[in-house]
Structure 1
Amino acid sequence: MKTFLSSLLRSALAAACLIGGVAHAQDGPQTNLPRVKIGAGMYLIETQVALTPEQRQIGLMFRKEMPQGEGMLFVFEQPSQQCFWMKNTLLPLTAAFVEDDGTIANMADMAPQTLDSHCSTKPVRYVLEMNQGWFAKKGIKAGSKLTGRPFDAK
């Protein structure tokens, strides 16, 4: 897992250097994030990966749409209680709070453009945001397991 995270972090830092870093006064969606495919049961999810504090802070802000089957995976350095809000986020989303092994600890539906806090019920390293309703339509809930490189046991 450390190799995967190191590789993604290097890619993110290289991209940031090429585009001049992340602007502090963000007024549009961030682009050029690293991507990784993860599995949720029989479904494949194409995720953008937010690794740095700046990338995680901006998240999916200012996006007007996101294709079904795509999401954003937030990766933290170590497991802890993670809390999310929807400031400047235009899309209704569901956050899945995910343990190191890919098990979804809990989920939260989040309304656009609110400062309501949505937190994990236990320490987690990952949060996967998807369009609201995607998980429910696929029968994916707390206790379900995600698969792929971020969650592979090393």
Structure 2
Amino acid sequence: MRASKIALVALSLLLAGCGGDSGAQSPGAGSDGEASEPAGQTSGVTSGQETVTIEASGGESVEVRVEIADDEGEMARGLMGRTALAEDAGMLFVYPEERELSFWMKDTLIPLSIAFMDAEGRIVDIQEMKALDDRPPHYTSAEPARYALEANEGFFDERGVNVGDRARLPV
């Protein structure tokens, strides 16, 4: 009985620390989930890089080297603790189905832009996120989304990427 109480308290603390809102909270760019940089790395994407290619409205292809976060641990860490992100790098969060996604910037040291995408890779929303912004309201997708792509602040705007553009995803 005592062991189950301890386990229940530990689980409650873990869930409270994640800041999730009834399962709708998505970790990410400091939204409960930024991935911690391995020791000694501060410039962005780690091993296992993939590429997301966005067909921007202006006719150009925009490539982003991404680290993929597709499990709870990776999503919870997101880009937390990183001090820099390479200019053409980011993190792609992959969810099992479309839903409203919500991110925050807890322990995320760099400002980021986030593009929310539906199951077909169509960008449904783009937002700018402030570093260390862990107070509600969180950064929530305007429409249900299955993917979220975080990059440096201003990344999408500077490259002419808009809502409605499509991305080819490595997943």
1:112-145 superposed Cα distances (whole Å, 9 cap, x missing partner): 0011400111211100000011111100011111
Match of 1:149 in 2: 170
- Superposition deviation, residue 83 in structure 1: 0.1
Match of 2:80 in 1: 61
- Superposition deviation, residue 35 in structure 1: 2.5
Match of 2:71 in 1: 52
RMSD across aligned positions (CA): 1.5
Runs ≥4 in structure 1, deviation > 6 angstroms? none
1:139 is aligned with what amino acid? G
1:131 has 2:138 as partner: no
Q: How many pairs does the alignment contain?
A: 123
What SS does structure 2 have at the residue aligned with 1:86?
coil
What SS does structure 2 have at the residue aligned with 1:54?
helix
Is 1:103–1:144's contact at 8 Å kept on the other side of the alignment? yes
What SS does structure 2 have at the residue aligned with 1:106?
strand
1:81-121 superposed Cα distances (whole Å, 9 cap, x missing partner): 00000000001001100111111000110000011400111
User: In structure 1, what is the Cα distance between the partners aligned to 2:166 and 2:142?
Assistant: 16
- Superposition deviation, residue 33 in structure 1: 5.8
What SS does structure 1 have at the residue aligned with 2:151?
strand
User: In structure 2, what is the Cα distance between the partners aligned to 1:93 and 1:149?
Assistant: 21
Question: For the pair shown, which has the larger CA radius of gyration, 1 or 2?
Answer: 2
Q: 5+ unaligned residues in a row in structure 1: which ranges?
A: 1-27
The partner residue of 2:129 within 91, 107, 110 is 110
Match of 1:29 in 2: 36
Task: Normalising by structure 1, report the TM-score.
Answer: 0.75
- Superposition deviation, residue 30 in structure 1: 3.8
Match of 2:103 in 1: 84
Q: 5+ unaligned residues in a row in structure 2: which ranges?
A: 1-34, 39-45, 56-60
Match of 2:93 in 1: 74
Larger helix share, 1 or 2: 1
User: In structure 2, what is the Cα distance between the partners aligned to 1:58 and 1:129?
Assistant: 13
